[in-house]
Amino acid sequence: MTFSVHGQAVSRGIAIGRAVLVASSRMDVAHYFIGEDQIHGELSRLRDARDAVVAEITRVQQTLLESADKGAHHELTALLDVHLMLLQDTQLQEGVKHWVQERHYNAEWALTSQLEQLAKQFDEMEDPYLRERKADLEQVVERMLRHMRGVASPVGRAPAVADGPGEDLRDDPLVLVAHDLSPADMLQFKQSVFAGFVTDVGGKTSHTAIVARSMDIPAVVGARTASHLVQQDDWVIIDGDTGVVIVNPSPIVLAEYGFKQRQGEVERERLSRIKNTPAVTLDGERVELLANIEQPEDSTPAFSVGAVGLELNRTAFLFMGRDGKLPDEEEQYEAYRRAVEGMHGLPVTIRTVDVGADKPLDRSNRDDHLNPALGLRAIRWSLSEPAMFLTQLRAVLRAAAHGKINLLIPMLAHSSEILQVKALLARAKEQLDARAAVYGKVKLGAMIEVPAAALAVRMFLKHFDYLSIGTNDLIQYTLAIDRVDETVAHLYDPLHPAVLQLVANTISECRAQGKGVSVCGEMAGDVTMTRLLLGLGLRSFSMHPSQILAVKQQILRADTRKLRAWAQEVVHSDDPAALMAD
């Protein structure tokens, strides 16, 4: 029977293969009571398993250290350190001992019981970074269980596939379906026979997703029930572009995706040829392609695809998971200076701290309000913590002495907020003057993320050098849809006429006044939107580096003179989607 499951698309491309299932550790462990005389044996089985996993992880780390691109694996090595620490954790060891000695649980049962107990403690932690360590604990326990079953990690070994009568399945490509995958599994994955993977759990920022993206493997995470529904050897299509997993597809669907897959490969190869081609339309309009990056270190891949500037979107990376201890001016200055110096004269946009709602900072920023997306987030939070905001402004101003910086303020709506931002920027300069510190000029920009801002765009233009449209939030707030709530995800529509009119209005007002305007939400990297945005007059797009070449290709094929009238028609239509193919 054909069916599909949906998850988060985390790593693009299409993988087609037969499913190899990795059972969730906690579902299939044996549960039985042991006798007094078996306690010693069970405890030594646990010790052996732990030692084996420690040795396994240490080996993987060693391989990483010796590999040519060890810099690329820096994050993975750090994660493996966390796994080693968890394995040595006394709470885990003592707890397991307790279950075996006091309750006479068998080793596996004791291990999973202790896991459940610790998992609850992790769930109750306020710090999101620490909460996420629960997944790491689950992964190391799963590895220990595999050892106790006498089975090594299923990734990397030749998987067992059932031979049907008269058919040899060994030549079929294989995809992995698991409840979760550990970073160590992911590394072995690279050398394994698997063409892609699906996991039940995980979000776009889960470690598994991060590693999948860095390896460029088609993957879908958070597919919830996938590992329950998919059977061993089922044919599975993983569409890493849309997050869809199709199980037992009909021959027609299989052929269609096979075609898409081959097309994708050819396309990627072809796209790499326009790396150095300037982004200019057929009618000679030059378009600026900027890369949204999370950390200064991400700038190298951005330049390799021809980005002409960077948006350092998540200065929050400096602020998160620090247990309320915010980075001081010096630490921020150093980080921003490094980013700017790495630009070789190209501009870097620094967004002021944008935390809250789906981007919690840590316990000091924990949001237990009913509507966190409408609460104290982004600039609202910065203005409520003027000392913190001034520190960031001073650090940015000082870094501006080393290169071009565009300062970008998220989620403004009110004129009072605009005036406060400007007053605080002036105050930051005064503070720097008072101590004779060297600083540079910044261009000041506002993000248009709230419908109120898009409608009052003229008010914004009186105060700002440029505007940047954050379509992710603009769509959320225009359509009253929580962007992280999967139950309303189907209503999240970039082509809603209201959204398009707000985007169009912002672009045209900026152009009329000769001010710069860009789009920095996901819409900018969506190739189906490129022509429309060009037709509306947009000439600056900011997106994830992996999207840049595909968008550039659309630009090279576009003639903006022909797109203008059509774009207006789309924006003013009741059914813009119907006109998009024209």
So which residues are the catalytic ones? 207, 520
3-state SS, residue 359: strand
What's the DSSP call for residue 289? E
For the bound state, the minimum distance from the C-beta of residue 307 to ligand PEP, rounded and expressed in Å, comes to 16
The binding track of 295-334 with respect to ligand PEP, each residue x by CB under 6 A or -, is: ------------------x---------------------
H or E element in which residue 536 lies: none
Residue 503 contacts residue 524 (beta carbons within 8 Å): no
* Dihedral sign for Cα atoms in the order 550, 551, 553, 558: positive
Residue 64 contacts residue 72 (beta carbons within 8 Å): no
What does the alpha-carbon distance between residue 144 and residue 54 come to, in Å, rounded to a whole number? 9
What does the alpha-carbon distance between residue 300 and residue 304 come to, in Å, rounded to a whole number? 6
Q: Which of residues 511-570 bind ligand PEP (CB under 6 A)?
A: 520-521
Among 24, 295, 472, 505, binds ligand PEP (CB under 6 A): 472
What does the alpha-carbon distance between residue 220 and residue 475 come to, in Å, rounded to a whole number? 24
| Nearer residue to ligand PEP within complex by CB, 187 or 475 | 475
What does the alpha-carbon distance between residue 230 and residue 236 come to, in Å, rounded to a whole number? 8
What's the DSSP call for residue 324? T
Largest CA distance in the chain: 85
What does the alpha-carbon distance between residue 305 and residue 38 come to, in Å, rounded to a whole number? 61
For the bound state, the minimum distance from the C-beta of residue 473 to ligand PEP, rounded and expressed in Å, comes to 3
- Rule CB under 6 A: is residue 449 a binding residue for ligand PEP? yes
234 binds, among Mg ion, ligand PEP, none (CB under 5 to 8 A by kind): none
| Nearer residue to ligand PEP within complex by CB, 5 or 408 | 408
| Nearer residue to ligand PEP within complex by CB, 494 or 576 | 494
| Pairing status of strand 194-199 against strand 466-469 | unpaired
56 binds, among ligand PEP, Mg ion, none (CB under 5 to 8 A by kind): none
3-state SS, residue 405: strand
Among 473, 506, 526, 567, binds ligand PEP (CB under 6 A): 473
- Exposed, middle or buried by CB within 10 Å (0-12, 13-18, 19+), for 310? buried
- Rule CB under 6 A: is residue 234 a binding residue for ligand PEP? no
The binding track of 131-170 with respect to ligand PEP, each residue x by CB under 6 A or -, is: ----------------------------------------
The binding track of 437-476 with respect to Mg ion, each residue x by CB under 5 A or -, is: ------------x--------------------x--x---
For the bound state, the minimum distance from the C-beta of residue 280 to ligand PEP, rounded and expressed in Å, comes to 25
- Rule CB under 6 A: is residue 471 a binding residue for ligand PEP? yes
Give the residues lining the site for ligand PEP (CB under 6 A). Answer: 313, 354, 449, 470-473, 520-521
Give the residues lining the site for Mg ion (CB under 5 A). Answer: 449, 470, 473
